[in-house]
Amino acid sequence: MIPCPEISHCRPDALLFQTVNGTPISPHNFERDMIVPAAVRAGIMKPRPKKLPKGTPWREKATAVNFQAFRRSFGTWLQKTGGSAKDYQGAMRHASPEVTLGVYMKEIPASVAAAVDALDSMLNSVGTKSVQ
């Protein structure tokens, strides 16, 4: 990425994320070089096995962290806002609400949502009180 010396001198059409040549970063390369390593470091994904031949699939589809997972998460969280299917369709820029509802939005069981909320509360309290 080529840093802009002063924000007031940057062009409005300048790329925020770019290659060293000033061209756009391809989504595949960004996923491979940035997203997947971050997910591995965070313990969300397993690292690529060593000695695996190049081009061999290694990520489990159900737990892969990628742009598709981000879109599905966005759709599922959007569902909790109480909007209409048409609102979700517009936010996700789909041609039909059927695609939005059928592919990108998954219902989260109340028990799972409660467990995640409890974990979030516990993690947010670290440092302010002892965790039991």
Helix, strand or coil, per DSSP, at residue 18: strand
Task: Kindly report, residue by residue over 24-44, the tens digit of the pLDDT.
Answer: 888 888 888 889 999 989 888
The vertex-103 CA angle with 67 and 63, nearest 5°, equals 45
pLDDT at 38: 92
Q: What is the pLDDT averaged over residues 56-69?
A: 82
Q: What pLDDT does 97 receive? A: 86
> Within 10 Å of residue 88's Cβ, how many Cβ atoms?
20
Quote the CA–CA distance of 117 and 110 in Å, as a whole number. Answer: 10
- Is pLDDT of 2 > 60? no
- Ranges of each domain in the chain: 1-48, 66-127
On the CB side of 17, CA atoms within 13 Å amount to 8
pTM above 0.85, yes or no: no
